[in-house]
Every structure is written in structure tokens, then in C-alpha cells.
Amino acid sequence: MSTLSELVIAQGRSSQPDVDWLHMLVGDLQLIADLAFADIVIWVPSADDGFVAVAHSRPSSAATLFYRDFVGQDIKGEWRELVTAAFESHEIHDSSAPAWFEEMPTRVRAVPVMRRLSTSGPDIASEPVAVLTRHTNLSETRTPSRQELTFNDCANELFSMIASGDFPDLGAPTGPRRGAPRASDGLIRLDVDGTTTFASPNALSAFNRMGFNDELEGESLAEVTTRLLAGKIVVDESLPLVVTGRAPWRTDIESRGVTVSLRAIPLRHRGERVGAIVLCRDVTELRHQEQELITKDATIREIHHRVKNNLQTVASLLRIQARRTHSDEARDALTQAMRRVAAIAVVHDTLSEGLSQNVDFDEVFDRVLLLVAEVASAHNTTAHPKKSGSFGTLPSGYATPLALALTELVTNAVEHGLAGREGDVEINASRDDETLSVKVRDTGSGLPEGMVGEGLGTQIVRTLIQGELGGTIDWHTIMGAGTEVTIDVPLRWLGSSTSAR
């Protein structure tokens, strides 16, 4: 299914600011559907003077009318006249008689979606960016509860604000949706002075758990929260604006070990604030989980930091031992071991710096390449390492064996490929959604008779690439141009957690 942006832009009648406005509205479409106890559909004008559905939200507070999405479909004939009237008149239109849908009577309301041009000025766009329709099922005849009546009143307030360009609010910060309060979690209606005129049972229960034992209705929400937070040293500076309904912000309040998230939606009529909706949700367990994750992340980073320090200590000891040994063969073996340990330490050092267990392997490899200068100086070689392409982001399970394997290949190219001469070592990386390909090429003498060595370094590379990464590796001599090693590593284990940069 196409995205909202693709569907809107494909109609050829909307600008990018129109698309951005619709994205903001769609972010609260579920809230509107829950308050209205009805299906909500957004229609944008099409090139043939019709309308195409670009978003659909079903209510969690009532049964849906539409079991299949309308998204991407042209408007049905029975709704077209009403939607067109709302679009052309810039006013809300209601169906004059029940509209039938699959033998069910429905009531349809069409609301023009007007876009405000700035956060401070009263100017709105010259025509609607879309039309929102509410589809209410009339087949369930029952006496609505006080909560349902209040929710519907709130929905009607929001419809009026949508038609006047006051909702969504351009001044609202774009925060994470995780843990955001919903209408079913708890709703408080405030008047213009911040006094509670209605509190749903769930909202009252949330405040009861924080230690408030009276009725919220008739109380100033600001005074209630002040009493709950008495003695608190640190209080969110946005709290007064949220609990009085003056700003469209979110904040958390905590009392007696209970954390409640609050979100204020100021209600306006012709630009003047007339009250507010405050949504509240008990997020105690959610905040505990987030704190546990932060603690675990910090612990993991500390572990990586200590592992890096230990590996660097081991590498230093190997370097000291190599300098003191009198055997050339032993010195060479200790130096190679030191470089291998140092390459692994680079990966752990990178992992210790971030929250994610994924690493920017281009940064890791740039640091690994610094080892080439040390290798070259020890063999009277002048090597010019050149890197092209990008490795992208890799999880630690890929980064460690790949860093070690590439260290072996680059070291081998300097030690044996160039062998006392001046030359280039070129590393080219490319990747798509399925494979990471790396070529390591030197301008040295090439493989003797095209034979691949059977030393420890070669065995390590084969084990890492073929055994741990499930990839393939190929050595071949380029006539008159040295040796090229090609590595292909499948990225099937990455899943959706990591993508190419």
C-alpha cells in the first residue's frame, strides 16, 4: 500500500506543506475516531475533480463500519456531493438523511481541513488541503452515557478547529508516540479557567493511584497536581501550561511511585481559547521498563569499555614481549597477535561509545587502517592505503570478525604483496540489501604461481568469512597489477534492525 505522502502527491493538487499538515493530522486521527465513536476517513482532491482516500482510522470505542480500508480508492458516489460541498464552501456539512452502507444506516459529516500558514498569525490557506469525513453507525440505538456525550462534544470541538485551521496545532512539539495518552486511558475536560468539568473513570483512577482521593470535577487541575507534587524538588517547567490547558504539550507527573503522562489539547473557537482536553495515562510500568533499558545499555557500554581496556592491555604486553624477544620468528608472531587483538579492541571501543549494538564500520575500518603504517615501517615498505565505497552500519556480530579478517588481508598485502617496495593497498566496499562486498587489492608482485598461502593468517580469514559470516572469499592475481581478494558476506541476518547508509 502506498504511503500517505505518495498518495497525496500523486493527485497533483497538493504542496509539500499540505502533506506535512496532513501528516500532523493523521497522527491524531485515532484520537478523533475514539472521541467520535465513528470511522474517520481523509480525502484529498484528485486531478479529475474527485477525491481519493489517503487515511482511515477505526474507533476503538465502537464497532467499525468499514472492515476494509478505503485508502487509495476513489470516493463513493453517495458521499461525493457532501464532500464536494464541504471542500468548496470551507464549511462543515452533515448528511440531511441517513446514508446507507451495506444495509446499515449511517450519518456522515464532512469537515474541510484548513491549513494554518504560521504559528502566530491568523492566516490560513485559500482552500482546504483535504476533507475529513466522520461515519457514524445509527443501527445501535441506545441512550448514550455522560462519558460518550462528553467525548462527542470534544470531537465536535476538534472538528470545528480542523475547519478553522486551529487543529492540529503548529506549536505542538513532535515527541515520540510511545506511551502517549489515548482517549480510553483517561480524559479530563477543562474550562477556560482550568477547572475540571468532566473526568472519565480511568482519569480519576490514575489520580487516585497518585494519592488524590476526592472527585476531580469542580477542582482546579493545577491545584490538584500542586498538592500531589508538594515537596518535589524538581518539577517539569512545562507542567503549569499542561495542567491549565494553555499549551499543546506533554509532561509526566510522579507521586507515590506512580507516573502519569499528561497531554493537553487547548480548545479554541475563532482563535480564542475556550477550554482544553487533558489526556492522561498511567505509564508507571512503561517508565520502569525504559529505565531498565537505560541501565542495561549503560552496563553493556561499560562492559565494552572494560573489554576494550583489557584487550589494549594484552596488545601492549604482546608489543613489549615482541620487542624483547631475540627470535625473528617469535617477534613476528607476537606482532601479528598484537595487531589482531588491537583490531578487536577497536570494535569494542566503538560499541562503548553508543547506545546501539550496531557500529559505523567505516569509522572502525578507518581506525584499523592506522595499523598499516606500523606494519609497513617494520618491513621497510611504503604503503598508500586507499578506501572507497561504504561499509555502512553493521551489528557487533558482523563487525568483530570482519574487522579481524580485513586486518589480516591488509597486513598480508603490505607484508607480502608489497614486500619492501612502495605501492598502493586499495579497499573498496559496496553493499545492497542482501550482500556486503569488499575488494582488497595491492599493486605488489602477486601470488606466486597463483597459489594461495596456507599460513595462520589465511586460515583465520577463511574461518571468519566462511565459518562465522557465512560468506565467500576469493584470491586471484591480476596480471602485472598485484593481488585482489574479493569477499562477499550475506546480510540475511541483519533483518530490519540495520539498513545500509
pLDDT score recorded for residue 376 = 57
Banded model confidence at residue 378, pLDDT cuts 50, 70, 90: low
What is the 8-class DSSP label of residue 213?
Answer: -
Instruction: Average the pLDDT over 199-212 and give the result.
Output: 94
Among 406, 416, 414, 420, which residue's Cα sits nearest to residue 485?
406
Banded model confidence at residue 212, pLDDT cuts 50, 70, 90: very high
Q: Do the two domains 4-164 and 380-501 of this chain adopt the same fold?
A: no
Query: CATH number of the domain at 4-164, please?
Result: 3.30.450.280
Task: Kindly list the domain boundaries of the chain, sorted by start residue.
Answer: 4-164, 183-282, 286-355, 380-501
DSSP string, 92-119: -EE-SSPEEETTEEEEEEEEEEPPBS-S
Distance CA 252, CA 254 (A): 7
pLDDT score recorded for residue 180 = 83
Helix H or strand E segment including 389: strand 382-389
HEC string of 256-270? CCEEEEEEEEEEEEC
Instruction: Average the pLDDT over 268-273 and give the result.
Output: 87
pLDDT score recorded for residue 4 = 87
Please provide the average confidence, as pLDDT, over all residues in the chain: 84
Torsion of CA 100, 102, 108, 114, to 10 degrees: -140
The CATH class given to the 183-282 domain equals alpha beta
How crowded is the C-beta side of 258, counted as CA atoms within 13 Å? 17
Say whether pLDDT at 246 is over 50: yes
Say whether pLDDT at 356 is over 70: no
Among 447, 448, 440, which residue's Cα sits nearest to residue 424?
440
pLDDT score recorded for residue 372 = 63
pLDDT digits (tens, 9 = 90+) for 451-477: 666 677 788 888 888 888 888 988 887
Banded model confidence at residue 179, pLDDT cuts 50, 70, 90: low
Say whether pLDDT at 498 is over 50: no
Say whether pLDDT at 315 is over 90: no
pLDDT score recorded for residue 274 = 94
pLDDT score recorded for residue 70 = 83
Distance CA 385, CA 426 (A): 6
Say whether pLDDT at 203 is over 60: yes
pLDDT score recorded for residue 483 = 83
- How far is the CA of 399 from the CAs of 346, 368, 435, 450, in angstroms? 10, 12, 14, 30
Residue 47's Cα: distance from chain center in Å? 33
pLDDT digits (tens, 9 = 90+) for 97-113: 777 776 778 899 999 99
Banded model confidence at residue 368, pLDDT cuts 50, 70, 90: confident
pLDDT digits (tens, 9 = 90+) for 216-244: 999 999 999 998 888 775 667 788 889 99
Instruction: From the options 3.30.565.10, 2.60.120.1130, 1.10.3720.10, 3.40.50.800, give the CATH code of 380-501.
Output: 3.30.565.10
pLDDT score recorded for residue 497 = 43
Distance CA 379, CA 449 (A): 23
Radius of gyration from C-alpha coordinates of the chain: 32
Instruction: Average the pLDDT over 119-131 and give the result.
Output: 88
Name which residue leads in pLDDT, 259 or 355.
259
